[in-house]
Amino acid sequence: MTDWKASIDQWRARHAVRTLRALSRPVVERASADLGSFPTDLLELYLCTNGLSKDAFVIFSIADDSDPKRTWNSVQRANRQGQTEVLVGYETDVTSRFLVIGQVAYERGALVERSTGALWFEDDEKLVHTNHSLEPFIDACLRDIDCA
């Protein structure tokens, strides 16, 4: 199990990651149920922070009615019919196979395959599978941004 609080603290110190306050378990679980179930590691991340970002890398927040300005680019909005096409760049909606959880660069999606929980990302207009779990995936993306 990932120690998300330690990882987030480390990312704040090393990469100046921006985070939002965590939401309550019932709010996170409701969003998960509405979107077809978050993988455990994503659900646990949301219990520690409502998304995170550094430059163009983003793990989308859960929409929060008490903070609509900062949670507008939410995981719910990203997975709404029609929104995904803009982010991931495909003519067909990918949300039946994937849950769009963020972006690795401007308009390049970070996705979770619904059936397996595997992480994928968009690179050069194709989807690429990664063997990383969520925490090392985020860490690698942040290191890549800092090296760019």
Sketch the domain layout of the chain as residue ranges: 4-147
pLDDT in tens, 35-60: 999 999 999 999 999 999 999 999 99
pLDDT in tens, 80-137: 865 555 555 554 567 788 999 999 987 788 999 999 999 999 888 788 999 999 999 9
Number of neighbouring beta carbons within 10 Å of residue 138: 26
User: How far apart are alpha carbons 52 and 13 in whole angstroms?
Assistant: 14
Q: Fold for domain 4-147? A: SMI1/KNR4-like (3.40.1580)
pTM, to two decimals: 0.91
Backbone angles phi, psi at 53, to 5 degrees: -155, 155
